[in-house]
């Protein structure tokens, strides 16, 4: 019988490692799993933005008890920032609102700026996020051009590696604690450089010890016979 590294059986439930494609919400992936496997209860290990790709862990039935533990795990991402441009959402979801010249930006400046974010830092959640204010997610206020009060939170950056620089693109890998917004990190990175930046691409590589390399694509998951998954 074929062995599925992306499927973990325990406590009368399943833990599935899904490679989320772009333009799918995390909630939509959960609903697809529920319908495909005909289960009533399922949840995911932490929201991954619709525009992002990568590891999403979906638990079913009694395995959903593991979700709180997974939510507390550290995460690892790889992404691409665009230097010298600013958007309201800190990523490509909204239009560029400001452009600044980057002729003075050197590779050394970029490497040194990454070092400044290492360790415990404070982040202000972006307006385009699911953080709630008076019972409503912030993105609903943002889409009405309403700015509301937000509280900074402490997060831990334990890895910030610059993989490639091809201005205006900067490719990077980040290891961080739960609750870290990589979009905010990109925006703050641009502010420190003095020219702005936004997150163009994002892919989640790891959640704790679980790696996207052991995951199944959504396309392949849908091709698998549900009886095989549930046996």
Asked whether residue 154 is domain-assigned, the answer is: yes
pTM, full prediction = 0.89
Count CA atoms within 13 Å of residue 174 on its CB side. Answer: 31
pLDDT level of residue 1 (50, 70, 90 thresholds): very low
pLDDT reported for residue 163:
98
Are residues 61 and 14 in contact, defined by beta-carbon separation less than 8 angstroms? yes
Task: List residues bridging with 161 in a β-sheet.
Answer: 173
Q: Strand, coil or helix: what is 164?
A: strand
Q: Which residue has the tokens 């937000």?
A: 150
Task: Find the domain containing 54 and state its range.
Answer: 7-72+209-229
pLDDT level of residue 129 (50, 70, 90 thresholds): low
Asked whether residue 26 is domain-assigned, the answer is: yes
Asked whether residue 197 is domain-assigned, the answer is: yes
Q: Are residues 107 and 142 in the same domain?
A: yes
pLDDT level of residue 219 (50, 70, 90 thresholds): very high
Q: Are residues 86 and 174 in the same domain?
A: yes
Apex CA 62: angle with CA 58 and CA 64, to 5°?
35
Spot the catalytic one: 19, 49, 91, 188.
Answer: 49
Question: Nearest to residue 65, comparing CAs of 4, 26, 13?
Answer: 13
More confident residue, 123 or 128: 123
pLDDT level of residue 2 (50, 70, 90 thresholds): very low
Count structural domains, the chain. Answer: 2
103 given a catalytic annotation: no
In 3-state terms the chain splits into helix, strand, coil percentages (rounded to 5) of 25, 35, 35
Q: State how far the Cα of 183 lies from the Cα of 204, in Å rounded to an integer.
A: 13
Q: Which residue has the tokens 């704790």?
A: 208
Residue 110: give its domain's CATH number: 3.30.2350.10
Asked whether residue 97 is domain-assigned, the answer is: yes
For 65-74, b/e burial (b = at least 16 CB within 10 A) is ebbeebbebb
């Amino acid at each position: 019988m074929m062995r599925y590294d992306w499927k973990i059986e325990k406590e009368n439930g399943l833990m599935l490692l899904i490679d989320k494609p772009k333009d799918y919400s995390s909630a939509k992936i959960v609903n697809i799993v529920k319908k495909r496997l005909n289960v009533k209860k399922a949840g995911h290990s932490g929201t991954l933005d619709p525009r992002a790709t990568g590891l999403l862990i979906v638990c079913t039935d009694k395995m959903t008890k593991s979700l709180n533990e997974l939510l507390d795990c550290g995460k690892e991402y790889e992404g691409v920032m665009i230097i010298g441009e600013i958007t309201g959402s800190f990523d490509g979801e909204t239009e560029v609102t400001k452009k600044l010249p980057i002729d003075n930006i050197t590779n050394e400046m970029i490497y040194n700026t990454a070092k400044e974010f290492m360790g415990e830092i404070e982040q202000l959640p972006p307006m385009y996020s699911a953080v709630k204010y008076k019972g409503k997610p912030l993105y609903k206020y943002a889409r009405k051009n309403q700015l509301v009060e937000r509280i900074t939170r402490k997060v831990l950056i334990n890895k910030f590696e610059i993989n490639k620089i091809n201005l205006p693109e900067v490719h990077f890998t980040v290891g961080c604690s739960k609750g870290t917004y990589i979009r905010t990190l990109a925006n703050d990175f641009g502010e420190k450089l003095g020219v702005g930046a936004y997150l163009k691409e994002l892919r989640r590589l790891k959640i704790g010890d679980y790696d996207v390399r052991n995951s199944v694509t959504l396309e392949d998951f849908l091709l698998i016979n549900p009886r095989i998954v549930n046996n």
